Structure 1
Amino acid sequence: MILYLHGFRSSPKSFKAQLLAARVAELGGANDWRCPMLPVSPLQAIALAEAQVAEAQVAEAVKGARGEVTVIGSSLGGYLATYLAEKHGWRAVLLNPAVLPERDLSAYLGEQPLWHGGGSIVVEPRHLDELRALGVSAITKPERYYLFAATGDEVLDYREMLAHYPGVETKLIEGSDHAISEFANYVDDVLAFCGMTPAERV
């Protein structure tokens, strides 16, 4: 199954999540796709992600199947994905992942508007503490990771990403931006790493 974790102030309505969901459906894997709306609390977000995977695995077990899990994380979702990959041995695709979000989000304490559909979240100091608790000082199995890092990311420094994920398969995108606006060009590449390719689904 594929679990997608969106970024800070984002949602399952983000364009990357929508592109991936549509392509997964085209390839016949809609039942293997999970993309929850994450709560502002990082610990609660992790618990929700784990619960969704556990629920899907129970359904797979009933069918006599047991598929591998790949978590795709964008920005802050990439930070959470790294924690989950290390804890559970899952594969992970990281899209301009946050490396030190407790530092970066310290400027966003208080009420913050969401990017999609209106509404807001309230970022509290305890959320920064939760992020620190979820930090992975060093990844253990680089072969489980696929990093997408854009040199033109206007929010996060791609050099921190490269330093934090040594030895992993990396797509270094010259230019672009934090959102990876040309992400449609990479959707099939991401899904191939997840084990889902058109050749296997026809």
Structure 2
Amino acid sequence: MRTVSIPATHLLYLHGFRSSPQSMKARLVAERVAQRHPSVQWWCPQLPPSPREAMDMVMRGIANWPRSTMAVIGSSLGGFYATYVAGMTCCPAVLLNPAVDPARDLARHIGDQTAWHDPQQRFYFRPEFIQELRTLEVGPVTRPERVFAIVAKGDEVLDWREMSARYPGSRIRLLDGGDHALSDFETTHLDDVMAFLDPA
């Protein structure tokens, strides 16, 4: 299947639930952009717990980005958010073990939570956030050729069958093993992610 790459001039990275811009994958992409593609505008915001507030902030932040040369990468819950962004902008998206039905999956996480990368940071995941997630569901991807999803069968958090079935017609890299964090991201996947986005 032919993929459609663009020379990305603006790159957005969206982290997962309880995660942050300090995640391993976010830092690796940030370092790659800084070292090899310094002309690319990079943004990896700390997302608030509220899905509505998170996407309002993101859409305001990219409001003036060129739709023809922007791209988004999203991991886990960030993959769900990236699917929304791609649906709103038609930009290319790379999805790393993307959450498919976070409204269902995160319902059991209502209550006090700690941040992965700083356990001293706490937040409350509110019941109304579940409906906010449902509001962000965009349905089938309208430009499947502009999506590259990396899905690990060994993901201990999300179901690989749901993830791979969510993006028919897209480029899917299905890993026989792996884990939710894609621990081999730097050595096995980073080059292909950047090649798909073809940054300037």
TM-score (norm 2): 0.90
Detail structure 1 runs of 4+ shifted over 6 Å in the superposition.
none
Distance 1:125 1:113 in 2: 17
Distance 2:175 2:39 in 1: 28
Give matches, 1:25-174, under 5 Å.
25-29=34-38, 31-54=40-63, 57=65, 68-117=69-118, 118-174=120-176
| Structure 1 partner of 2:3 | none
Deviations 1:48-93 (A, max 9, x none): 11222235x3xx8xxxxx8611110000000011011011111110
Distance 1:31 1:2 in 2: 7
Deviations 1:81-121 (A, max 9, x none): 10110111111100000000011001100110100123012
Of 42-51 and 18-27, more deviation after overlay is shown by 42-51
* Aligned sequence identity (%): 49
Of 23-32 and 139-148, more deviation after overlay is shown by 23-32
1:176 paired to 2:178: yes
In structure 2, runs of 5+ residues without a counterpart are 1-9
Aligned residues: 189
Q: Give 1 or 2: higher helix fraction.
A: 1
Q: Which amino acid aligns with 2:176?
A: E
| Structure 2 partner of 1:63 | none
Report the Cα offset of residue 29 of structure 1. 2.6
Report the Cα offset of residue 137 of structure 1. 2.2
Distance 2:175 2:163 in 1: 12
Distance 1:139 1:28 in 2: 28
Report the Cα offset of residue 28 of structure 1. 2.9
